[in-house]
């Protein structure tokens, strides 16, 4: 198919990473998997090119000839052509496999493109990275005024609040979101950060003077976790759980918060999760 616009590129297996995955971190990339012998491809191709030209750079159209790039087609499990996939931020976010009418193609692409609110969130992130915290917060808040459960704006604002110690406000914002890896991590960080100001040396000395003080041990553990000293923190928390005293459930929840901070794939999470289960049951 002959290219008709500057925002249309032919992509091969060798250039896919740069032209699609990396480029999609800057602008959405629509990938058309096609072949020269494919009749429906000849119908859909000009539609995609026309929509791309009209968009004026809102996205890139990358065309992959599956016959010449079979490894790439296999990697993305292309079983029917034409297949069209949208990439945003380096990952596929949607696809269809058919020669759709132009109106449906335009509607599908519109759903894949960032909204104005998404653009404001990106602007807020840029402001935060540049150190303009006040502007970043104003932008995040403006998005949440429109959509209170906008996930990216909510997690971005909550992260800033946690960093400055406003953990209760952060938890309120995060509470409006459905559970997820980032939400769980930030909620755990908020709860743990409350102990960040405690004096580690004083807590350690107090525990050495009274080793059976589970409340003091848990306070020390949370302070250690807030400083990123996760393994000794987990050791103390686990000891409180094993004591089967009145602070057992608090220690269990604190361990879950550390797991949330570390992520399910972390070696400490796997090891201490098994030990926690053994201690509880």
Question: Which of 20, 30, 41, 61 is flagged as catalytic?
Answer: 41
Tokens of 251: 């220690």
pLDDT score of 196 = 67
Q: Tell me if residue 236 falls in helix, strand or coil.
A: helix
**pLDDT of amino acid 1:** 41
Per the annotation, the verdict on 41 as an active-site residue is: yes
Q: How far apart are CA 234 and CA 221, in angstroms?
A: 7
Pairwise CA distance, residues 144 & 138, whole Å: 10
pLDDT at 2: 42
pLDDT beneath 50, residues of the chain: 1-4
Q: What does the CA dihedral 50, 51, 54, 55 come to, rounded to 10 degrees?
A: -150
- How far is Cα 152 from Cα 162, in angstroms, rounded to an integer? 15
Q: Annotated catalytic residue: which of 38, 73, 85, 162?
A: 38
Count CB neighbours of 64 within 10 A. Answer: 27
Q: What are phi and psi of 194, to 5 degrees?
A: -60, -25
**Is 112 one of the annotated active-site residues of the chain?**
no
The distance of Cα 163 from the centroid of its chain, to the nearest Å, equals 18
CA angle 188, 191, 193 (to 5 degrees): 105
| pLDDT tens track for 118-155 | 889 989 988 988 889 999 999 999 999 999 989 999 99
Nearest one of 142, 263, 262 to 154, comparing CA atoms? 142
- The whole-number pLDDT of residue 5 equals 66
- Where are the strands (E) in the chain, listed by range? 8-10, 29-34, 60-65, 83-88, 91-96
Q: Which letter, b or e, does each residue of 152-175 get, where b requires 16 or more Cβ atoms within 10 Å of its Cβ? A: bbbbbbbbbbbeeebbeebbebbe
Going along the chain from its start, the domains and CATH numbers come out as 8-112 (3.40.30.10), 116-185 (1.25.40.10), 200-280 (1.25.40.10)
Do the beta carbons of residue 190 and residue 196 sit within 8 Å?
no
Q: What is the pTM of this model?
A: 0.57
């Amino acid at each position: 198919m002959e290219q008709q616009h500057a925002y249309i590129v032919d992509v091969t297996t060798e250039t896919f990473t740069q032209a699609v995955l990396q480029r999609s971190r800057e602008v959405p990339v629509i990938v058309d998997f096609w072949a020269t012998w494919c009749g429906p491809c000849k119908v859909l191709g000009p539609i995609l090119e026309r929509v791309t030209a009209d968009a004026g750079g809102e996205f890139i159209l990358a065309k992959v000839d599956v016959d010449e790039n079979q490894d790439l087609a296999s990697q993305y499990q292309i079983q029917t052509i034409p297949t069209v996939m949208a990439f945003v931020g380096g990952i596929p976010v949607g696809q269809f496999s058919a020669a759709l009418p132009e109106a449906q193609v335009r509607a599908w692409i519109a759903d894949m493109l960032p909204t104005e609110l998404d653009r404001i969130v990106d602007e807020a992130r840029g402001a935060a990275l540049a150190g303009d915290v006040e502007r970043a917060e104003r932008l995040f808040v403006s998005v949440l005024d429109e959509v209170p459960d906008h996930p990216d704006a909510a997690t971005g604002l909550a992260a800033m609040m946690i960093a400055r110690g406003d953990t209760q406000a952060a938890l309120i914002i995060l509470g409006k979101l459905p559970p997820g890896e980032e939400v769980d991590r930030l909620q755990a960080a908020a709860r743990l950060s409350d102990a960040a100001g405690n004096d580690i040396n004083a807590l350690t000395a107090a525990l050495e003077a009274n080793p059976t003080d589970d409340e003091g041990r848990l306070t020390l553990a949370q302070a250690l976790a807030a400083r990123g000293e996760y393994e000794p923190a987990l050791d103390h928390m686990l000891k409180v759980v094993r004591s089967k005293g009145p602070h057992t459930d608090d220690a269990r929840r604190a361990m879950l918060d550390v797991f949330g901070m570390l992520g399910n794939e972390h070696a400490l999470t796997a090891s201490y999760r098994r030990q926690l289960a053994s201690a509880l049951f």
